[in-house]
Homo-oligomer: A and B are copies of this chain.
Amino acid sequence: MKNITNIPYYLKSNDIKPSFQRMKIFDYLYKNKNHPTVEMIYKELSGIIPTLSKTTIYNTLKLFVKKNIVIIVNIEDNETRYDADVSTHGHFKCIKCKEIYDFLFDTENLKIQNLKGFQKDKIDLYIKGICKECLFSG
């Protein structure tokens, strides 16, 4: 993913006012790369920012998604996760350890039938299974 050294500048260049809370939330997403839920971000940041609410996190993420600097990861139907890596890549979820892994795939060689003449804007590839570590540890 893109190397971002100056978060306030990055937010501003994407037409987002860089408030303290917004910078902290983006910084968390960018540094952890753990595809967190609102709940996970709240748990992590509420100690540092006592005034932070889940609603603020939710609204901030909604704004980030609207401005295309964060994508939603919908690998499970009962949880919405967020990712600051907006480049095309896939997500693998291990059904044992619940970890989500990023992976790259070749969109050029994706052999798709029945969509001739369709305009394809966004591709999401989700795979579920068991990660290497869990396979080895039995």
Q: How far, in angstroms, from A125 to B106 measured CA to CA in the complex?
A: 13
Which of A7-15, A16-24, A49-57, A110-118 forms part of the interface with chain B? A110-118
Q: How far, in angstroms, from A109 to B128 measured CA to CA in the complex?
A: 18
Known: A121-B129, A127-B123. A103 touches B113 (CB 8 A): yes
A122 within 8 A of B: yes
A28 within 8 A of B: no
Question: Which residues 94-133 of A have a CB within 8 angstroms of B?
Answer: 94-95, 101-106, 109-132
Known: A101-B114, A106-B111, A118-B132. 6 other contacts (CB 8 A): A74-B77, A74-B126, A92-B120, A119-B130, A121-B129, A125-B125
Shortest Cβ distance from A120 into B: residue: B129
Q: Which residues of B contact A1 (CB under 8 A)?
A: none
Q: Which residues of B contact A122 (CB under 8 A)?
A: 127-129
Copies of this chain in its oligomeric complex:
2
Contact A118 B130 (CB under 8 A): yes
Q: How far is the CB of A112 from chain B (nearest CB, A)?
A: 5
Question: Which residues 56-93 of A have a CB within 8 angstroms of B?
Answer: 72, 74-77, 80, 90, 92
Contact B111 A103 (CB under 8 A): no
A4 within 8 A of B: no
Shortest Cβ distance from A103 into B: residue: B114
A135 within 8 A of B: yes
